[in-house]
Structure 1
Amino acid sequence: MYTNSAYWHQSRVDFKDKKHSLFVGSCGTYRLYTVKKLPTHRPRGRVDYQLLYIASGKAHFYFNGKEQIVSAGNMVLYRPKEEQRYYYYGAEHPEVYWVHFTGNNVKNILRKYGIADDVHVICSGISMEYKQLYQNMIQELQLKQEDYEELLVNYLRQLFILIHRQLLTKPRKKNPMIMDDMAQAVEYFRAHYNKPVSIEDYAASHNISVSWFIQNFKQYTNTTPAQYVQLLRTTNAKSLLETTNYNVSEISNLVGYENPLYFSRFFKKQFGVSPSQFRKQLLINEEIQPK
């Protein structure tokens, strides 16, 4: 299991903020590989809000005692004092991002972005932009640089805006078979992102044209197949920089880049710092954290 999280003032205790209209208290991510089951049950809920994004796989949630299986491309919203009961199973390979937030005007802010008071599951679609915003929040809350609290709120508002745009988009009539094909493509790229990937070969092996495949893949994920593979590589490279001692060249090779220099340049373009600079920032942050 891979986990990465961050908490305001290093405290896992939930709290209600009445001073700010919106305030981020904690955020993180889980990816299950070998752990068979990861349960969460808070019978009395929390005093803040929680927004979870199912980036891949699926998760099992309970609302009013009834189970609802939520697949990739959806978000789940819990409000204060609502019972929280949900389960992740390793066999279903869930990748989940979460953020807890509070404030004195949250209900009206959610309404502004089209999220009704009685909604629990939000059809957000799959997007690497969502993952990037969650990752930005995690990093910002870990590093705690100048004005980080304000930037966290800005990232969360960007997330709300993207959700709102998705909700306002008139849904096209979707062919279930096409959506299944695109879901299989997503899983294929997730499993093979660190190997040479040819979009043309994938399309040919499934007897479909490249242009048709790219168009439908983009409709399903809000990104092209090539962009999706690149972002998978840099995202997993970031995880390896955070959790292993592999050097930059080794990580470059592990995530599918033969040229470490190209990898470093592309990583910097995505995250604003080179892989070595990113790792140095993590080390500095660990040194200044209270023991």
Structure 2
Amino acid sequence: MDNSAVRRTQSRDDGTPIVDRLLPGHLDVGPGYSTVRPRGTEDWLLIHTIGGAGRFASKDSRHAPLTPHSVVTFAPNTPQDYATHAETGTWDLLWVHLRPRPEWLTLLDWPTVAPGIRRLDLTPVISQRVATALEAAVGHHRAGLQHATAFAINAVEEALLWCSRQNPRQGASDPQVMAVVEYVSARLPEPHTVASLARIAGLSPSHFAHTFRRHTGMPVMSFVQRLRIDAARELLELTDLTVAQVATRVGYDDPLYFSRRFRSDTGTSPTQFRSR
């Protein structure tokens, strides 16, 4: 059974999950439920409320309600503080931790309601279709059957596509940011810098860095590193290349430095990841 890309590999010391690509779940909780992560997580977190109500808190929005048919995302490293809403006492939610594909960035470009937090309020019909897709992702994750990874990724993508039907910003994603994402994805071994990528976008380095973070939720070089580590996972999983060869192909000249970065991002060494 191949479920390595949708399972939780382990947790950090503060309990935040380390995931490969997707970690979906379904919770139906009571009044005592709450989660607080002051530093957020290194991936995106999506929460879709399907019953009851929740609430989230941020520096700008104290106890903002998460009502049925609402869907919110927390960008990487955004503080997370969410819980069952006190007035309802119950909260039924679907959630997924995800490391989005580059082409998903336009699908996640929703209206911002607080720093690092984006929200859509869906119609009941669209909300049901999003819920059905996310429930399918949960089912594939739990079953762990052959091709579970592909099925789960496709299910989450379907949910994001349905969300885009109600996104007032649809079509407003920055084309310069997407051009850079596509450029880096096709040239991972090259020595990218903020300045070199700003030239691709035709912007000053400071303007580009600000624009990129606003649209992706991540600093430029953190995003480049994410693409490189994701590519390294695939090469380790699907090829017989040595760790040093993998490091070179994804843009790391020093295999030892690559191993340290890989362990920092995944919680395991390249050799252990491959043997798993």
TM-score by structure 2 length? 0.50
Q: Which has the higher helix share?
A: 1
